[in-house]
Amino acid sequence: MSRALFTSGPLDASLALPAVDMATSIGAFETPAPVFTASGCAAAGKELDQFFDITAIGGIVTKSVMLNARSGRATPRMAETPSGMLNSIGLQGPGIDAFIEHDLAWLRQRGARTVVSIAGGSVEEYGKLASKLRSVEGISAIEVNISCPNVEDRGQVFACDPNAASNVIQAVRRNADTRTPIIAKLSPDVTDIVTIAQAVERAGADALAVINTTLGMVVDLETMRPALGGITGGLSGPAIRPIAVRCVWQIHQALPNLPILGMGGIRNGEDALQFILAGASAVSVGTVTFHDPSAPLRVQQELETALARRGFTTLRDAIGYAHRGPDLPEIDEDHE
Q: What residues make contact with another protein under the rule CB under 8 A? A: 40-43, 47-48, 50-51, 63, 68-78, 80, 82-85, 87, 89, 92-93, 95, 121, 149, 151, 155, 229, 237-238, 267, 287-294
Compute the least distance from the CB of residue 92 to ligand FMN, in Å.
Answer: 9
> Strand 84-87 relative to strand 78-81: parallel, antiparallel, unpaired?
antiparallel
Query: Cβ closer to ligand FMN: 4 or 239?
Result: 239
φ/ψ region of 113 (left if φ > 0, alpha if ψ in -120 to 50, else beta) reads: beta
47 binds, among another protein, ligand FMN, none (CB under 5 to 8 A by kind): another protein
Which residues form the interface with ligand FMN (CB under 6 A)? 38-41, 63-64, 87, 89, 91, 117, 145, 185, 212-213, 236-237, 240, 263-266, 285-288
Compute the least distance from the CB of residue 3 to ligand FMN, in Å.
Answer: 32
Compute the least distance from the CB of residue 190 to ligand FMN, in Å.
Answer: 15
264 binds, among ligand FMN, another protein, none (CB under 5 to 8 A by kind): ligand FMN
57 binds, among another protein, ligand FMN, none (CB under 5 to 8 A by kind): none
Compute the least distance from the CB of residue 134 to another protein, in Å.
Answer: 24
**Chain centroid to CA 282:** 8
113 binds, among ligand FMN, another protein, none (CB under 5 to 8 A by kind): none
Compute the least distance from the CB of residue 223 to ligand FMN, in Å.
Answer: 22
Compute the least distance from the CB of residue 13 to another protein, in Å.
Answer: 17
Query: Cβ closer to another protein: 88 or 167?
Result: 88
Q: Are 138 and 108 in contact (CB under 8 A)?
A: yes
**Chain centroid to CA 86:** 17
266 binds, among ligand FMN, another protein, none (CB under 5 to 8 A by kind): ligand FMN
Query: Cβ closer to another protein: 42 or 260?
Result: 42
Query: Cβ closer to ligand FMN: 142 or 318?
Result: 142
The span from the CA of 118 to the CA of 138, in Å, is: 16
Query: Cβ closer to ligand FMN: 4 or 100?
Result: 100
111 binds, among another protein, ligand FMN, none (CB under 5 to 8 A by kind): none
71 binds, among ligand FMN, another protein, none (CB under 5 to 8 A by kind): another protein
Query: Cβ closer to ligand FMN: 162 or 234?
Result: 234
Query: Cβ closer to ligand FMN: 117 or 309?
Result: 117
Picking from 91, 75, 96, the residue whose alpha carbon sits closest to that of residue 149 is 91
The span from the CA of 125 to the CA of 80, in Å, is: 33
Q: Distances in Å between the alpha carbon of 215 and those of 87, 145, 158, 206, 235? A: 9, 15, 15, 26, 6
Provide the total of helices (H) and of strands (E) in the chain, helices listed first: 10, 18
Residues classed as catalytic: 148
**Chain centroid to CA 316:** 18
Q: Are 244 and 185 in contact (CB under 8 A)?
A: no
Picking from 212, 155, 161, the residue whose alpha carbon sits closest to that of residue 183 is 212
Give the CA radius of gyration of the chain.
20
Picking from 255, 194, 238, the residue whose alpha carbon sits closest to that of residue 81 is 238
Q: Are 176 and 170 in contact (CB under 8 A)?
A: no
The span from the CA of 247 to the CA of 259, in Å, is: 13
The span from the CA of 181 to the CA of 19, in Å, is: 29
Compute the least distance from the CB of residue 139 to another protein, in Å.
Answer: 20
